[in-house]
Structure 1
Amino acid sequence: MANTISQTQIPNMAVSHGKVRDIYDLGDQLLIVASDRISAFDVIMTSPIPYKGIVLTQISLFWFDFLADTVENHLISPNVADFPVAFRPYADQLTGRSMLVKKTKVLPVECVIRGYLAGSGWKDYQATGSVCGVKLPPGLKQCQKLPELIFTPATKAEIGAHDENISFDTCVDMIGTEAANYVRDKSTEIFTKASAHAESRGIILSDTKFEWGITDDKIILIDEILTPDSSRFWPADKYEPGRDQESFDKQFVRNYLEEINFDKSGPGIELPPDIIEKTSAKYIEGYERITGKTFEL
């Protein structure tokens, strides 16, 4: 199994750590490095997943290119040779898993687009007949395709906390009418385009979340995009409404933790080798199915 990067070690450079990413603030730019850390139920496990950070970065790069004529994004370069001089000696930690990007003023909402009734949306529907205040027809099944795409924004939570679904009116209160309309409409547009591509590859894009930031008075797409960590991708040939679906993500980890009655409020744990291996393989399969390329180990 490959060497993994749980955390980057770049001497004399200040870094902040998210659940998965190490972020270096370079003034008007950021260097974002996707580690091999994995979180489940908002808890970071102690076992890294081989290749995960590279897979996430390469999928984001695929989508940024695919959507380049639809939406502006924050990418400057994924090439270590283009990074500031201080980072170049550490290509062994950075190659394939890092992006130099524009620093933006981040909008404080996660822009979630749902095409199917899954996850917290399904739980919300069971309890209220709605998802984030959007009324839906009665009698829908778990993971059923929705009559139309719905935009369900959420607040951005700190590490260890859960994002909180909010109404569109609350989104307007937080970022203003013009920005809220723009991110809703643009998120819907790029979801529709990405979903059509995924469908052509035998994959259902159930839902995803986008993040947006402001730079030079423009709202642009930031962070990761349409990865197995930010989205639900299901193999179309195994899709069946009325149950949970197979997916190209951390499903094996979640299932294992449920089986052992993992304490979701406690610290992360070491994962068994077979769970690590299966999860790594599933991420790689997701990359290959989405992009049509062979993942180079």
Structure 2
Amino acid sequence: MTDAPYSLPGWTHTYSGKVRDLYRPDDGADRMLVVASDRVSAFDHVLEPGIPGKGALLTRLSLWWFDRLASPAGGTPIPNHLVPGAHAPHPVADRAMVVRALDMQPIECVVRGYLTGSGWAEYREAGTVCGIPLPDGLGNGDRLPEPIFTPAYKAPLGEHDENISFARAVDLVGADRAAQLRDTSLEIYARAAATAEDRGLILADTKFEFGVDGAGVLTLADEVLTSDSSRYWDAEAWRAGSTPAERMASFDKQIVRDWLAANWDRRGTPPNLPAEIVARTAASYRELIARLTG
């Protein structure tokens, strides 16, 4: 696996997900170190090789968005899990965040503003996305009449996340918390989409994760609005494109998904990514940061 856990003085590795590693402080403080690796995943598999520099790029973008969303000038401040003034240790300083430990919610909060991906596949079969009816006549890449909240249940490690209805989300976390997750996710999406639009980008969809702190405050956590958790498209290409491929010129890991879908039947071990796909993906991540942050 690319990016094996680091040996970090004062921190003990406790968990590795598909692309991130978690560490706990040896002094018992109520915080964690979240390290973004260069690993890349698609279709619930970690692929080889990784994307050079990916972890640092995604951390940089998350920090930029956390700061922007926390600013009253951008709307209602969104609390996040960063520990103010804390610095990650060398050698992971550019790819890690020191964060507060939270009671993480078991729901992945997905917001879709455009019809694509698994949503497009479901729409072609049933006219719905995650069970939500949509108007007839939409095409791949079309803008939805309004953004929709389509939660997913975060499955245990090694299992597949499951798209769920809002009613099921209520069963999992209660009516008030489910409504808060939905409304906060839609608000963040609207603000981020407007920011992207100002920079010639479309935020097609994204996913958020939230936790609750000791005071009961809903808190934005994990990564936010990165190339791994979101689909970003070039706005001019979307307006001018005559085919889905032309319309959805992307700045995310869709390059990886498309290559893998064309070269793997999803059985057994996925093939290694070609060097050209790795290079194109890394370039798209860098371009997105340049366009968003200037």
TM-score by length of 2: 0.89
Structure 1 CA distance for aligned equivalents of residues 135 and 189 of structure 2 = 22
Q: Give the secondary-structure state (helix, strand or coil) at the position aligned to 2:99.
A: strand
Change in 2 beyond 3 A, CA 1:242/1:78: farther
Gap runs ≥5 in structure 2: none
Q: Deviations over 1:132-159 (max 9, x none)?
A: 2221111111111011111111111344
Structure 2 CA distance for aligned equivalents of residues 117 and 160 of structure 1 = 28
Offset, 1:160: 4.5
Structure 1 stretches of 4+ moved >6 Å: none
The residue type paired with residue 74 of structure 1 is H
Identical amino acids, percent of aligned pairs: 47
1:59 corresponds to which residue?
A: 61
Q: Give the secondary-structure state (helix, strand or coil) at the position aligned to 1:181.
A: helix
Structure 2 CA distance for aligned equivalents of residues 153 and 77 of structure 1 = 30
Q: Deviations over 1:58-85 (max 9, x none)?
A: 1100100110032100011586xx35xx
How do 1:134-283 and structure 2 match up within 5 A?
134-215=132-213, 216-239=215-238, 240=241, 243-244=244-245, 245-260=248-263, 262-283=264-285
Aligned residues, how many? 279
Offset, 1:259: 3.2
Report if aligned partners of 2:13, 2:21 keep a CA contact under 8 Å in 1.
Answer: no
2:289 corresponds to which residue?
A: 287
Structure 1 CA distance for aligned equivalents of residues 205 and 16 of structure 2 = 26
2:12 corresponds to which residue?
A: 13
Report if aligned partners of 1:43, 1:160 keep a CA contact under 8 Å in 2.
Answer: no
The residue type paired with residue 82 of structure 2 is L
Q: Which has the higher contact order (CA 8 A, sep 6+)?
A: 1
Report if aligned partners of 1:206, 1:234 keep a CA contact under 8 Å in 2.
Answer: yes
Report if aligned partners of 1:155, 1:164 keep a CA contact under 8 Å in 2.
Answer: yes
Structure 2 CA distance for aligned equivalents of residues 142 and 159 of structure 1 = 31
TM-score by length of 1: 0.88
Structure 2 CA distance for aligned equivalents of residues 50 and 76 of structure 1 = 27
Structure 2 CA distance for aligned equivalents of residues 206 and 49 of structure 1 = 23
Structure 2 CA distance for aligned equivalents of residues 122 and 255 of structure 1 = 15
Report if aligned partners of 1:47, 1:271 keep a CA contact under 8 Å in 2.
Answer: yes
The residue type paired with residue 182 of structure 2 is R
Q: Deviations over 1:64-110 (max 9, x none)?
A: 0110032100011586xx35xxxx4xx12x02100000110111001
1:295 corresponds to which residue?
A: none
The residue type paired with residue 257 of structure 1 is L
The residue type paired with residue 58 of structure 2 is L
Report if aligned partners of 2:14, 2:24 keep a CA contact under 8 Å in 1.
Answer: yes
